A = this chain, B = another copy of it.
Amino acid sequence: MISPRHYHPERHFTGGDVVRDIVLGMSDGLTVPFALAAGLTGAIEQTGLIVVAGLAEVAAGAIAMGLGGYLAAKSAAEHYASERARERREVHETPAAEEAEVLDVLQTYGVKADEAAPVLRALRRHPEAWVDFMMRFELGLERPEPRRALWSAVTIAASYVAGGIIPLVSYMIFPSVRLALAVSVAVTALALVGFGYVKGRFTGAPPVRSALQTTLIGGLAAAVAFAIARAIS
């Protein structure tokens, strides 16, 4: 068993939770429906069917990301609450063992037992703060914000839909699959470049490289989907 402290977040955002949610939803929304539609033009001549498949994917992906994320966030909040209850019990019932754990944590940073003693005294004075200290420094768990979970899910799902509609519009307008594909590729490539650039500014990555990466992922996904569709149809 590996403890939750080994959890390592894969993304670090400096633009707030809403931006993070928009980036999460739109990254996939701009990529997968685009790649699916482009792929299907390798096998289908009717733009109408491609729009149907694209919109079905957009709906399914938005629900999977939004509802899936919502339920995962609720579980995480419950997990935090139950871990905190356990930590509180330990602080009250076996304080000596908890003190040893505080010493262990601080020792990792070269703080000796006698140097940590005043900190222990302070934590004993504030049992609730002690519990918070253990949650953060022993378990590495951040307090979740369960009230944000619903709004976060809606933002992710809406961003997925917004991103997913972009590559499909040309298939709704042009009756020729080839023309629709060409316009879709051009429009989505522009959107991926712009989105990747803005995303880079928020994630701290160099914007130009972020733009190239986002476009690469979308382009590769579309090319592979196209090759598969052509190969088996």
Partner of A123, one of B109, B216, B222: B109
The minimal Cβ–Cβ distance linking A233 to chain B, given in whole angstroms, is 5
Question: How far does the alpha carbon of A130 sit from the alpha carbon of B111 in the complex, in Å?
Answer: 10
In the complex, the answer to whether A217 meets B56 with C-beta atoms within 8 Å is: no
Q: Which of A98-127 contact B (CB under 8 A)?
A: 106, 108-112, 114-119, 121-123, 125-126
The stretch among A62-70, A87-95, A182-190 that forms the contact with chain B is: A62-70
Q: Which of A1-43 contact B (CB under 8 A)?
A: 1-17, 20, 27-28, 31-32, 35-36, 39-40, 43
In the complex, the answer to whether B68 meets A217 with C-beta atoms within 8 Å is: yes
Q: Which of A47-80 contact B (CB under 8 A)?
A: 48-49, 51-53, 55-57, 59-61, 63-65, 67-69, 71-73, 75-76, 78-80
The minimal Cβ–Cβ distance linking A45 to chain B, given in whole angstroms, is 11
Instruction: Chain B residues near A49: list those with CB within 8 A.
Output: 43-44, 49, 233
Q: A110-B122, A118-B118 are in contact. Are A224 and B2 (CB under 8 A)?
A: no
CB nearest neighbor in B for A128 = B110
Question: How far does the alpha carbon of A118 sit from the alpha carbon of B121 in the complex, in Å?
Answer: 13
Instruction: Describe A's contact surface by its main secondary structure.
Output: helix
Instruction: Chain B residues near A76: list those with CB within 8 A.
Output: 8-12
Question: How far does the alpha carbon of A67 sit from the alpha carbon of B31 in the complex, in Å?
Answer: 11
In the complex, the answer to whether A56 meets B27 with C-beta atoms within 8 Å is: no
In the complex, the answer to whether A15 meets B31 with C-beta atoms within 8 Å is: no
Instruction: Chain B residues near A111: list those with CB within 8 A.
Output: 118-119, 122-123
The minimal Cβ–Cβ distance linking A24 to chain B, given in whole angstroms, is 10
Instruction: Chain B residues near A40: list those with CB within 8 A.
Output: 52-53, 56
Instruction: Chain B residues near A69: list those with CB within 8 A.
Output: 10
CB nearest neighbor in B for A210 = B75
Question: How far does the alpha carbon of A129 sit from the alpha carbon of B106 in the complex, in Å?
Answer: 10
Top 7 A-B residue pairs of the complex, sorted by shortest distance between their CB atoms: A35-B60, A39-B56, A110-B126, A115-B118, A56-B225, A111-B122, A63-B221
Pick 13 A–B contacts, CB within 8 A, sort by A. Answer: A8-B76, A11-B72, A36-B53, A44-B52, A49-B233, A56-B228, A59-B225, A64-B221, A71-B217, A75-B210, A109-B123, A109-B129, A119-B119
